[in-house]
Structure 1
């Protein structure tokens, strides 16, 4: 192992700041072997690697804190030796053998440091990093990295190519993009670099999608392009922001863009409160990026992709999708997106703002150059064999070089694996490679493989996991006084995300293998951090560290083999209850989630979890837990409760097609005879009710009618009051959507006469008032809605939102008929309240109609641009999630907006196809809106004929009164 050039001296148990500073150094072209972290061992003395760094490093970055000043390893061992080296040549008027770069991490009396160090504390680094906001902290770390690399270049320790000209620190944020920005000549990449350069200078290209298989060098290509731009003063770029979802997952982040959006908002100095709706977040970020010409790089987007029913890649995070779509419409910079598959969501803009560039393997690789860039000590005698095995595949070359560096010779078996790697996916080879490397205990290559495992799609085989955990267990037992994350292999294992760790442990339990408690603690910490990242600002590390410490205290880890179960579940649930009563749903979510997940015999607590997640508007958080929770050993009733929570979570997230497929599968299983696995005829009516409502939400009225008829035909249904009530409500809803209001109202009255105790119809109580309003009886609808609102419980957000939504529509209609401005004020108030309550539910089926009503309010206030923008967003989301009836409502609102703008001809051209589509979908509910639109112009009808003749009015014709 080569000697390091930079030594990071820190005594913090949390390696956040050393890791971030190291990432900035790597981004400026330094290799991993050039940067080393000096820490103390369990005896409080400097480790062997730390001593080697003290003797050889040319620059020492000191992260000064109270713990640093109290550390014997730092103050008594590392600093005296570094000071001696720094003063060796100073007496002769020359530069010292090493230099210091002190960084104040936390408030402390840093004047206690030796004078050789204190005189070098720069003004920029005197303010503690812990007290800075995110953007200021990144600016400071960029300054540290720039000074460090500049010093190494000045003394000749690094090539001058690393001294690339950069944007000001305030306008540069590399984020977690760890690829070195070095413009080393690439093999057969000139054409791709030229395409990127043309895209940057071409105003019509706003988003570039780099597509290629895993490991062909897409990220390295972008790093090369950025380095070339830096040599040319960035060719007019005013800001640069880079983000890698690969690194986010390796650091334990969740598969969402929350952390990315949070960091980008900080970088853009967005001081306003975060929008409550995710599409508003994407739209606001796009507007802020428009202010200056910005180069935005998004790497590793595959972690946020999921395949639709056709197998095409769709972006699962809607905030990021909205951001990219807005950039495609208007962006004076360039956004580079790196993925393994083309983005189907953006495909319609190909050639009109989007440019997709395919990155293939290097056809004729320059062997020596390809492996030399990896900075591994491969000798010239074996470089040809290694490069031939890599065959232009960057990851294969990196694995080969790592194995060569660690074992001293190029093994034939690894060469064979690497040759296979060129023809089949990497996921299928990870297990074989890791098994072989474990036998030889090849630490550098295992570290490389485990880092790649965070990007892989397949879990490890149980035999490989057992072998790996065997080595881990020996390490943990040999150092039982040191926590898991402070162990070298514990830190490596933590690179994997919590979902994969849970899957690994589930495989172990299924095979009868018991993991060491310290390993399970790492899993618990990762699970808790994922839950924390979902609902809280991701970079608030103090809260995350507090949660980790709380876990360590509550679990009371035992130093013996055996699975961990929380010994104080009752205490946790009591604390959860108290915090929930105080309105702290976030803490309640953490504690109840952990309690239910790890105390599997008490799955009934999951219903409590569901209640609190519903109150916090976070039902979608139950998708992963209910999927990953092992079902072995659970009773049939407990398995039913877990499955029900999973279906509710899918519906809350807007994944209606998955919810319908899952409910249908559960229904068919429940219909099996009771002696067969999964059969339970008592569950059939409950599943039919859920399935019918899901089908109605998706606009599949015919299928929903079949399910309702099947429900009504069940024997003894009338004897079960709540099931009978839900069945009558669904029958009325079908009639309501078909436009048969009188029949629907009669059935609604019958259902409402039965007291409501428990129901599977989430938020369905407002259907009755909605039917009364649609029938035109405005006074009765208003009176009924106000009476029902008074009886709604404070935490029933969905019910209250439904009634507020109906009142908002009602007052908008009264405003259109009477022209009284007071109705408009009432409509605005109720629509805003409906939107707030809908966001609290977290149910997409409530949020989008509230947004549509807000667009109608904008239209009534003559704010046509805002209405059109919001309407376009709701239309896109309703089509994306398959809400067909809502999509038709959006089309009707669009026609009303066109009429308000005077575009009568366009309305006439679009009305007939829209009515035909409504007929096909059996959607007759919006009769009032259709009459309002048709009343704006004269439509001639031929009596007794199926065809209607009409004369399109001119757009200049004045509008007659509404019907």
Structure 2
């Protein structure tokens, strides 16, 4: 794809990018809809290409250091959003703006907007930045509604910005050191998908649960040379004091009807402009829903926009957000069920629902190993060319074809050049197919997570890893093992023996990973941090309650720490465990 310097391309529907892969061109270079050879009718006066994903390690001036490898891959297509792009440019140029928070529900296009802006910034060597660092909390194994931690982000960022000992100090000390390093030069910091670390809708909606991140963002809000851009589904309530005084909030709206119509036409949907705009309105201008609608109509109905009435949304009528995207995913599922090829593709999507991070090829091979998992891997091809002799070549081709088809349909993310063998998809797609698999095929759900538990627990080279990065597979193994309901085994053989290392408490005392520890402990609760799972022994339930309370207290979440510690203390009293009573009472 060609590269050019940044331009704000004004047209009747704002900023417009086009992929060479998903739409053809005639001999004059004009875009044509795949399959019909007709030029796209629009009032576009200038057409520019940008990289689909900002480069993770750009060829930059010696003073500029860039790492955006953690950010998700998104499509290069962007429709509308000219005012938001201009806003980001304006905030970057303004010495008075320290933080921009982009707020919108999932699938509206927050990450796509930021990736587009970064790609355009990269054309001009990031316009005076000295450091450019991006991090996605979704891509690091966090899911909304779950306990998440910023420990890995803080440790990796400290190391990247030049801290000699990222594990030294408590959460507050680490956050302050990172803030000082960021402020030392003009830094562009991107924090994508912050909502897993925020309190869900309710009395404390949007409040950061991670104290280190709260300290960091508040310190940056006071003032810095550069800019921090946050994407989230919820406004970051901790920054309200500085709103309009260094912190800007932008609520990303759904696409206007003309922008949605342009997106549908770009994806191969055909029909009158009025009909396309009506379709955009019916799907609330939701970017992900319109993208899936466009690819579905193009694939299943030759792009006929009138066939959108075949998509039934009744079952999701009461869903407040994301219902239109869910409706299209249901239609895709029904369509894929009609052929072996479609079922192979559907099983890949179900596999994606097992992960809360990009799925690496080794984990996928673990799922596809013999024996087959009924309803999950039985008709799936094997991506490995090494298992079945000559027939493996056929199987690998089928796998590559299925993956390409899902990427063309925008159900899988485009290939990530930093992780070319991994598969990823939008969090809403991951959540949808994961929920369907768990509810409709619980046996396959448990067996798959059991295999992933075995894979990740055996992945580290060391039996007892030394750093947070080396321990990452063990953290994933805990989550998968608990989803497989192997609670007792995971607690004893993995969490206590290899992560905590019994009384040594290595993960907290040596690495200071209290946030990670709290997230790990949450896997053993039905209701964090009130009711441990029933399948644990009674004394383990009590110990986990006390452990959760202690970690909440260490993280500064004092009001939340009281209940689990009191419940744990009552449990020790009933068991007359005087040593544990003394310890728990002291912590209270």
- TM-score by length of structure 2 reads 0.62
1:646 aligns with 2:545: yes
Partner of 1:351: 244
CA distance in 2, matches of 1:547, 1:355: 35
Cα deviation, 1:469-494, whole Å, max 9, x if unaligned, reads: 743142369999969xx977998699
CA distance 1:201–1:414, shift in 2 (3 Å): farther
Counterpart contact for 1:206–1:334, Cα < 8 Å: yes
CA distance in 2, matches of 1:428, 1:392: 10
Partner of 2:497: 588
Partner of 1:220: 112
CA distance 1:255–1:412, shift in 2 (3 Å): same
CA distance in 2, matches of 1:400, 1:246: 24
- Greater share of helix residues, 1 or 2? 1
Counterpart contact for 1:589–1:609, Cα < 8 Å: no
Partner of 1:625: 523
Partner of 1:177: 71
Deviation at 1:208, TM superposition (A): 1.0
1:761 to 562, 582, 586: 582
What pairs up with 1:385-404 in 2 under 5 angstroms?
Answer: 386-404=279-297
CA distance in 1, matches of 2:193, 2:584: 38
CA distance in 2, matches of 1:587, 1:663: 19
**Which has the bigger relative contact order, CA under 8 A and spacing at least 6?**
2
CA distance in 2, matches of 1:529, 1:254: 24
What pairs up with 1:471-870 in 2 under 5 angstroms?
Answer: 471-475=375-379, 513-515=442-444, 519-525=448-454, 528=457, 537-540=467-470, 544=473, 588-590=497-499, 620=518, 623-628=521-526, 634=535, 638-639=537-538, 641-654=540-553, 655-662=557-564, 686-687=569-570, 757-762=578-583
What pairs up with 1:229-244 in 2 under 5 angstroms?
Answer: 229-244=121-136
Deviation at 1:33, TM superposition (A): 5.8
Cα deviation, 1:782-841, whole Å, max 9, x if unaligned, reads: xxxxxxxxxxxxxxxxxxxxxxxxxxxxxxxxxxxxxxxxxxxxxxxxxxxxxxxxxxxx
Counterpart contact for 1:238–1:294, Cα < 8 Å: yes
SS of residue matched to 1:203: coil
CA distance 1:495–1:214, shift in 2 (3 Å): closer
CA distance in 1, matches of 2:308, 2:82: 34
Partner of 2:408: none
CA distance in 2, matches of 1:386, 1:762: 63
Partner of 1:197: 89
Counterpart contact for 1:299–1:339, Cα < 8 Å: yes
CA distance 1:764–1:268, shift in 2 (3 Å): same
CA distance in 2, matches of 1:626, 1:225: 41
SS of residue matched to 1:653: helix
CA distance in 1, matches of 2:179, 2:18: 33
2:321 to 405, 425, 430: 425
CA distance 1:435–1:472, shift in 2 (3 Å): farther
Counterpart contact for 2:257–2:278, Cα < 8 Å: no
CA distance 1:482–1:525, shift in 2 (3 Å): farther
CA distance 1:611–1:227, shift in 2 (3 Å): closer
SS of residue matched to 1:208: strand
Partner of 2:233: 340
Gaps of 5+ in 2: 3-16, 23-46, 358-371, 389-395, 404-420
CA distance in 1, matches of 2:354, 2:382: 26
Counterpart contact for 1:210–1:359, Cα < 8 Å: yes
Partner of 1:269: 162
Rg comparison, structure with higher value:
1
2:182 to 280, 289, 292: 289
Deviation at 1:429, TM superposition (A): 6.7
Counterpart contact for 1:313–1:343, Cα < 8 Å: yes
CA distance 1:297–1:390, shift in 2 (3 Å): same
CA distance in 1, matches of 2:508, 2:560: 20
Counterpart contact for 2:206–2:235, Cα < 8 Å: yes
Counterpart contact for 2:50–2:119, Cα < 8 Å: no
Deviation at 1:289, TM superposition (A): 1.3
Counterpart contact for 2:376–2:444, Cα < 8 Å: no
Partner of 2:5: none
SS of residue matched to 1:345: helix
SS of residue matched to 1:403: helix
Deviation at 1:333, TM superposition (A): 0.4
Counterpart contact for 2:311–2:327, Cα < 8 Å: no
CA distance in 1, matches of 2:172, 2:259: 46
CA distance 1:350–1:395, shift in 2 (3 Å): same
1:315 aligns with 2:208: yes
CA distance 1:521–1:389, shift in 2 (3 Å): same
Counterpart contact for 1:417–1:429, Cα < 8 Å: no
1:324 aligns with 2:228: no
Deviation at 1:345, TM superposition (A): 1.0
Deviation at 1:397, TM superposition (A): 1.1
CA distance 1:421–1:297, shift in 2 (3 Å): farther
Partner of 2:26: none
What pairs up with 1:81-160 in 2 under 5 angstroms?
Answer: none
Counterpart contact for 2:208–2:238, Cα < 8 Å: yes
Counterpart contact for 1:623–1:649, Cα < 8 Å: yes
CA distance in 1, matches of 2:319, 2:584: 53
CA distance 1:161–1:500, shift in 2 (3 Å): closer
CA distance 1:324–1:523, shift in 2 (3 Å): same
What pairs up with 1:888-899 in 2 under 5 angstroms?
Answer: none
Deviation at 1:185, TM superposition (A): 6.9
CA distance in 2, matches of 1:652, 1:520: 27
CA distance in 2, matches of 1:305, 1:530: 30
CA distance 1:475–1:518, shift in 2 (3 Å): farther
SS of residue matched to 2:111: helix
Counterpart contact for 2:549–2:562, Cα < 8 Å: no
Cα deviation, 1:568-622, whole Å, max 9, x if unaligned, reads: x79x97xx7xxxxxxxx98823599xxxxxxxxxxxxxxx799898887766365
Deviation at 1:661, TM superposition (A): 4.0
CA distance in 1, matches of 2:295, 2:68: 26
Give the aligned CA root-mean-square deviation in angstroms.
5.8
CA distance in 1, matches of 2:264, 2:328: 23
SS of residue matched to 2:258: coil
Counterpart contact for 2:85–2:117, Cα < 8 Å: yes
CA distance 1:530–1:625, shift in 2 (3 Å): farther
Partner of 2:100: 208
Counterpart contact for 1:494–1:522, Cα < 8 Å: no
Counterpart contact for 1:390–1:422, Cα < 8 Å: no
CA distance 1:232–1:343, shift in 2 (3 Å): same
Partner of 1:680: none
Counterpart contact for 1:387–1:397, Cα < 8 Å: yes
CA distance in 1, matches of 2:437, 2:311: 33
Partner of 2:38: none
Gaps of 5+ in 1: 6-28, 35-157, 457-467, 556-562, 577-584, 593-607, 667-682, 691-719, 724-755, 766-842, 846-963
Counterpart contact for 1:219–1:299, Cα < 8 Å: yes
Counterpart contact for 1:528–1:590, Cα < 8 Å: no
